[in-house]
């Protein structure tokens, strides 16, 4: 009876946070990731504990490297099932994003609860809570007195997510930071606004040694055009992947990753700017490491595709 009450409270809390997240949204993009399918813990707290072992993820991205002050992002994520609490998961998400004189550092903890829908599929509900520390480098504008008195700041926030996964498909819906806030940049305000993420992926076997993995990610913020990524990866011998990606009116990408050890996967992507960035030599590079703390005696009950 107590367990049912806890489930009801958790479910109502997540639904309330989702409803709240769709009000009064403005426009400011969160850091971008081309290989989002291997960095899901950052954008969706419900992903925590969805893998059958503890997992570490590291991602580094250098965007538009030929432009001064271009964004540079480093993320670290940890998630694990909770051994003493069946169906519960927890995680930690760290993000450092540098854009010109401004550095944002996110520190968030993730909690999730898994509902088994059928034998191979489960729906996870997740909550995220933490703090964003913002640092402004005054020396970046030494010739502009308007920026002389800027102070560092911090903002508490919460997020929520839903994550469904079975052996061949996943669907993710999340709002990693629900509450909007403003940063003072000299005489101007920089609005940091919530982003709504919808992602899905599917695995289809073409041959015994080859699977195709189409996936997509849609980002939405009120008063901003909807942005989306379309990806197609080929998985060879369940060991290495090659793929292409298209980000709407922004970039095309080549992706590659490989399982270099039983528990370790390493990946790289290269983005080339299109649309308004065409001809500006705007290129981006992204590298990720994904490590599962799977013991020698432990074996996943289903193949790991995402």
Sign of CA dihedral 119, 230, 55, 123: negative
Spell out the domains of the chain, with CATH numbers in brackets: 2-292 (2.40.160.40)
Predicted pLDDT at 118? 84
pLDDT in tens, 68-117: 778 899 999 999 999 888 899 999 999 999 888 888 899 999 999 999 88
The continuous run of DSSP H or E covering 5 comes out as helix 2-21
Predicted pLDDT at 298? 47
pLDDT in tens, 242-301: 999 999 988 999 999 999 998 899 999 999 988 765 556 678 999 999 999 864 444 444
Tokens 């989306």 sit on residue: 228
For 149-164, the DSSP string reads T---EEEEEEEEEEEE
Distance CA 74, CA 128 (A): 19
Q: Tell me the helix, strand and coil percentages in the chain, rounded to 5.
A: 15, 50, 35
As given in the structure block, the two tokens for residue 66 are 């030929």
* Mean pLDDT of the 215-222 span: 91
């Amino acid at each position: 009876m107590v367990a049912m009450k806890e489930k009801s409270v958790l479910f109502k809390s997540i639904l309330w946070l989702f409803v709240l997240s769709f009000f009064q949204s403005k426009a400011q993009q969160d850091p971008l990731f081309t290989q989002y399918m291997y960095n899901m813990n950052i954008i969706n707290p419900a992903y925590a504990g969805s893998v059958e072992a503890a997992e570490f993820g590291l991602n580094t991205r250098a965007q538009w490297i030929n432009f001064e002050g271009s964004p540079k992002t480093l993320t670290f994520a940890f998630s694990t099932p909770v051994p003493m609490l069946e169906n519960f998961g927890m995680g930690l998400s760290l993000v450092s994003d540098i854009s010109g004189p401004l550095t944002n550092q996110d520190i968030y903890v993730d909690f999730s609860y898994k509902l088994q829908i059928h034998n191979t599929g489960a729906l996870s509900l997740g909550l995220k809570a933490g703090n964003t520390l913002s640092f402004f480098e005054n020396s970046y504008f030494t010739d502009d007195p308007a920026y002389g008195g800027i102070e560092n700041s911090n903002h508490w926030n919460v997020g929520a997510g839903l994550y469904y996964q079975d052996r061949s498909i996943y669907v993710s819906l999340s709002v990693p930071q629900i509450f909007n806030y403003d940063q003072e940049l000299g005489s101007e305000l920089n609005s940091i606004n919530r982003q709504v993420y919808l992602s899905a992926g599917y695995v289809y076997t073409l041959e015994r040694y080859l699977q195709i993995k189409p996936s997509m990610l849609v980002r939405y913020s009120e008063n901003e055009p909807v942005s989306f990524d379309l990806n197609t990866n080929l998985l060879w011998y369940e060991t290495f992947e090659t793929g292409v990606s298209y980000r709407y009116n922004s970039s095309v990408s080549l992706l590659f990753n490989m399982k270099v050890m039983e528990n370790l996967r390493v990946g790289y992507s290269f983005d080339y700017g299109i649309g308004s960035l065409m001809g500006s030599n705007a290129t981006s590079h992204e590298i990720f490491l994904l490590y599962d703390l799977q013991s020698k005696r432990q074996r996943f009950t289903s193949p790991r595709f995402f």
